[in-house]
Structure 1
Amino acid sequence: MEARVLTPPLCICVCPYQREKMMVALPLPTIIPTIHPNGLDASFLAQSGRRIHTPILIISYETFRLHATALHKGKVGLVLCDEGHRLKNSENQTYQALVQLNCTRRVLLSGTPIQNDLLEYFSLIHFVNQGLLGTAAEFRRRFETPILRGRDADATEEEQKEGEEKLQELLLIVNRCIIRRTQALLTKYLPVKIEQVVCCNLTASQRSVYTDFVSRMAREVAERLKTADEGGIRGISGLSGSSLASITLLKKLCNHPDLVYDKMRTNTEGFLNALSHFPADYKGSLESNATPFRPDLSGKFQVLDYLLALIRTSTSDKVVLISNYTQTLDLFERLCQMRGYIYVRLDGTMTIKKRAKIVDLFNDPKSEYFIFMLSSKAGGCGLNLIGANRLVMFDPDWNPANDEQAMARIWRDGQKKQCYIYRLISTGTIEEKMLQRQAHKKALSSCVVDQQEEVERHFSLGDLRELFMYHTETVSDTHDRFKCRRCVNLVQIKPPPPDSDCNCDLSLWNHCYSKKLLNDVVLKSAWDTGCISFVFWHYSHEEQHTTV
């Protein structure tokens, strides 16, 4: 008697465009080739019954959205979404297209499943288990409001207690449908990764402009404090527009004065006579290609310039440069052109097809490309850039998950070389406050993480005043706040705990007041620029030596 073969129900694998080609190479004869936006295979759509020849469909998010109407007509046994955090917004078209599938089971895969506010986290849970947390309105009333109120800097003891209780209640529910695997699993298969937070001094010109600007903002916040009797969230509301704009300007100034040159040239509020702090012939290089770029006007750019020169001349390594601002990528380009480095650039203006091509080109060991420039918002998720083993995160994001996603581009499956991550932070500035905020949020239950546009939501007026302070005498404001007992008289006398790694809090990393304790030879040489004030560093795991 002939055995009866039952074909499993249709499975749809939704993934970033760049990953389609890799998944097609898997040894599964039932996988259909990559489907592009020019149309779906009619024979595939016509399949039905138990003997489906190609029961697995691999498709990108973008292509799925284009052909959702056709795919909604059939029944699906499983939808598997890679980089599932792309479904954090239940209102967007991709989410709506996927949620309307006639589907029995839904699975999301994500390296950073909890990266945004609670309502976005609700969207992910609701996608895989509709109704588990009620409606969005019910979730907001039952969980989001009390948890956020308890996390606010001015929360009462009672509000903190209620918030913690609601958080634990939420975790108890969602843990029923979450399987968590940490990066510890990767250490068996990947080379050692060394993460380094490099505190860079502002240049004299940057320091003068920064000091003048924060002095004005400090006065504005002080005036607001006098009139905000209620304090807390309501007391901060009147500052929302101006303070967020000021935060952006300070972050750009930390990167390079060229990014705020137009504000200085027009004597915009806060930048009155700011150009007097620069050489008389100074002009912003973004104003004209004929204007030479000056890395010496930025502490972080001086360090970057030195790092790239050392890597280029003393290693065969490639480098990924990441920034939150496309204007900073413009300056990266000017630096590369000035130094003769061959590079590629990816930002939000590039088509999906072209992205895949330049990634393949860069990862080719035979290619001459030395640098891959990346806008964190455009390519922070899903890209595999294992052709490089050094990555520079030039500026921080309020959301630690965004930075972690971006920094994971090189330390992933297929990487064979030891990896080095450089996170450049301007000493004593708002960037250190952002770093501290990241550390604080990671130390809490990771279900509440700020988005950049909602930064102030969790800051009291006192916290906001701290944002607009410049600590000129410190080598690291972040380390100062630890009240570190492992360091005495500017020397680390006790190493990090043996069970710690780069996933731990910065207080458990190596603390370097000088280059003596650094492990990375390149960074040790770059210390001689005089622009580095302090370094935190740690590794992913200890190198495992196997005996043959």
Structure 2
Amino acid sequence: MKLFPHQERVLNETYKNNRVAYYLDMGLGKTFVGSEKMWELNTPFNLVICQKSKIEDWKEHFEQHYDYNVIVYDKQRIENIPLESVLIINYDKVWRRPELHKLKDFTLMLDESSMIKNESSNRSKFILKLRADNVILLSGTPTGGKYEELWSQLHLLGWKINKKLFMKQFVVQEWNDRNQSYDIVGYKNVERLKAKLRKHGAVFMKTEEVFDLPKVNDQIVKIRSTKEYVQFKKDHIIEIGDELLVGDTATTKKLYLRQLAGVYNQNKLQYVKDLIDSTNDRVIIFYNFKKEYAALVDMIDRPIATVNGDLKDLSAYEDHGNSVTLIQYQAGAMGLNLQKANKIVYFTLTDKSELFEQSKKRIHRIGQDRPCFYYYLLTAGSIEWRMKAVLDERKDYTDALFEEEEKDEQFTS
């Protein structure tokens, strides 16, 4: 596996540490750095805890690049774990597996380690009691700018400072008479805190610090499909909730297949949420349909900017460094200057080549001094893969092309 120079540098800096935290910005390859460190540590067993939407990504990564026995440990309990294994489980289920507290001789890796920032939660209390020989923490946003949320991670790194002393040394608090409690108003001894973090194996790296990455980085993300998509593709009709989707023409069938791969796919919505939670940077999301906008707004708890046929309000984008900007292709793929951001997520694809190409230029333009990252979320086995292939040829994905594919599938079957 070929690593980028910045990834090799991070591994070299932490070669002597058996407890490390790789706080690398989204797009810098935390997955590769973390898995290589795990391989270097070479313990009989390995436990990876991640968000539910990332389980398949980790499974595929280990199977493609390593010779581990890869076990997804969220469906059934395992009595005898073979040597050279990687167990993968999500944060919501790990604390329901008490047998993991018996596990020995293993390396623990937390993907998006900020998930244990609340030390009183069930997941955090459970993870802090694991008897790991080595620890690897991965996160693009370990604190979200709030140093008080670091304590659980510091404990795993081996810094056994108690919470009260940590708050006293590094957090500035003032008494609030109205709430009868202390408010956090700032931080102190920050350089000392950073030095302590480095001593305990923490590495911070922002995208703008890395100049050896390609200017444009395309990330194809394979999203798990749904039984509803498979059923509609076969029968051309399905009932979802109180809605009846009927694909009685090529146009309506294509429309509903796109929506079933997008807004009706909870796996994709969850992935977008996890992706947003993994960075504090501005994120641009392109979408097609009003239902998609409603679903995205409903799950995003950060400042939202909007560009669509009904509304154009970019104030959140301008004023907030962690904003999410939702753009409908027809309304905003052309003409906007959005180079304050360097990350675009394609929730669904347009079928118009010009809009697709123009959308990429919203961040990749004069004034952009950081690498640009494009995340294409494509549902497995869906119409989206053919759409992407056609758009890459600079062509529109028309009804005629869709009908040709339908005929090819019938002939093949």
TM-score, scaled relative to structure 1: 0.36
Higher RCO structure, 1 or 2 (CA under 8 Å, sep 6+): 1
* Larger Cα-atom Rg: 1
User: When you count strand as a share of all residues, which structure comes out higher?
Assistant: 2
TM-score by length of 2: 0.45
